Homo-oligomer: A and B are copies of this chain.
Amino acid sequence: MQLKYSGMQRYRNLLFYVLTVAAAIAIIWWILTMGGQLQSQKNIKSIIESKPALGVPFTAILRHNIREPLAILLLQIFVILLAGSLMGFLFKKIRQPRVIGEMAAGILLGASFLGYYFPDVSAFVFPPQSLGNLNLLSQIGLVLFMFIVGLELDLSLLKGKTNAAVMISHTSIIVPFTLGVAAAYFTYEQFAPGGVQFISYALFIGISLSITAFPVLARIIQERNLSKTNLGVLAITCAAADDVTAWCILALVIAVVKAGSAWSALYTILLSVAYILLMLKVLRPLMEQYYKKSNGGKLTTPFIAVCMIILIASAYLTDAIGIHALFGAFVAGMIMPADMKFRVQLIEKIDSVALLLLLPLFFVSTGLKTEIALLNNATLWGVCIVIFIIAVIAKFGASAAAARFTGQTWSESLQLGALMNTRGLTELVVLNIGYDLGVISREIFTVLVIMALSTTLMTGPALNRIQRRFKSSAG
């Protein structure tokens, strides 16, 4: 190391430094003074060419428009993260998962609270022309999120134990789905948006009652140390089967909605089947092979790059086929190498940006579409309550009954019912897809958001209650 010097050399260096800087500043000053008298020819040209009333050249306006959105977006992200953190912290205090607090923060920043009570603040932070950008960025966050959901799914769980779990899972989908379709029959005439066929509306209400939030459920099970119990394993397996089934049905529903009828969706469905075969039978073995060759337990940058390319390609492909980009992201996560150690590493590589930075934007994007003030009459509140009751009875009841039927204890069956009733984040994703497709009106969207939040909120208390009941009866 030659970085330390004697006093003499130090003095010489310093002198040289000061002289150089001083000389440079003098020269720069001189050139700037001289240059002040120059006139850019382009300058003259543009003054002549531009319209006299406008003054500013067009390109300058364009540039301004390109830059401005960043400032708005940064402000939005800041407000959203701050509110999300505060609410997450508060909810943690009342023993609810952080993510529910963040969801609640999103709703509060939306049309129901901030937009309703502080319209000026809302218009400043969320001006209408900025919402496209916010929405787009939140979609990128969702693509990453669904990729993580796919990665978290341990498909090996489903092997061998398929019998009971798949049965419970499918029962817990088919019952609310059927009741949802029935509910659609009674609400279609009054609340379906214009131009939407009954079949689209009905299938969508059906699927939206059938969702279980795999990520939230997994977090609750982890937080309660249930991971190694019979109940925990069964619940995770059921939720995994639920996720795969529900997203496949949703893809089908989207195909029908876009095509307008079940028959004309056939083309999309055939393409989707081809896509799934391609992913499962071609890409999955290839990835498994590539992983075994290239990774000695440690994730390499090129490997992560390949994963990203597959994720984006899969999302684009499903969107192009006519199902949804998020389905592609989910499947891309699912077909990654099965080694759970690898999956956890990959998740850790993306979850901070995806879940902490981008996902909260989605909650607000949802909140801005949710407007509780729209429920301004008894009929709508009636619909809201009925939908909530149907959702709970159908999901909770069907899961618990099927679990009991396949031989679980009453305590386990009821707890499983409570867990499967968690709609959480996944439901919000599904509802946004339906709203963006134009299949549900803003009123029904709001009703279903309220249902999603309530069923998610009640999971913790319901579990506590069931556990206490069975403990006291056992004791």
**B-contacting residues of A (Cβ < 8 Å)?**
1-5, 9-10, 13, 16-17, 20-21, 24, 27-28, 31-32, 34-36, 38-47, 50, 56-57, 59-60, 63, 65-67, 69-71, 73-75, 77-78, 81-82, 85, 88-89, 98, 131-133, 135-137, 139-140, 143-144, 161, 163-165, 167, 170-171, 174-175, 177-178, 181-182, 184-185, 188-199, 201-203, 206, 230, 233-234, 237, 301-302, 304-306, 308-309, 312-313, 315-316, 319-320, 325, 348-350, 352-354, 356-357, 405-408, 435-438, 441
Contacts and interface: CB of A to CB of B under 8 A. Distances in A.
Among A2, A35, A63, A196: residue with most chain B CB under 10 A:
A35
A285 to B, nearest CB: 21
A302 B88 CA distance: 9
A46 B195 contact: yes
A198 B36 contact: yes
B185 A35 contact: yes
19 contacts: A1-B233, A2-B407, A13-B163, A27-B182, A28-B181, A32-B199, A35-B198, A35-B202, A40-B188, A43-B192, A46-B193, A56-B195, A60-B195, A70-B139, A75-B316, A85-B305, A89-B302, A136-B137, A144-B353
Report the copy number of this chain in the oligomer: 2
B178 A438 contact: no
A192 B38 CA distance: 11
Contact of A354 (B67, B348, B353, B437): B353
Contacts of A304: 352, 356
Given A5-B407, A31-B202, 18 more contacts: A13-B405, A16-B405, A20-B171, A24-B175, A32-B181, A35-B202, A38-B198, A40-B192, A40-B198, A59-B193, A65-B132, A66-B132, A71-B319, A74-B319, A78-B309, A98-B301, A137-B137, A301-B356
Nearest to A71: B319
A359 to B, nearest CB: 12
Contacts of A320: 71
Contacts of A67: 436
A444 to B, nearest CB: 11
Contacts of A77: 312
Query: Interface residues of A: mostly helix, strand, loop or mixed?
Result: helix
Contact of A59 (B133, B182, B309, B438): B438
Given A164-B3, A356-B301, A308 B438 contact: no
Contacts of A21: 170, 174
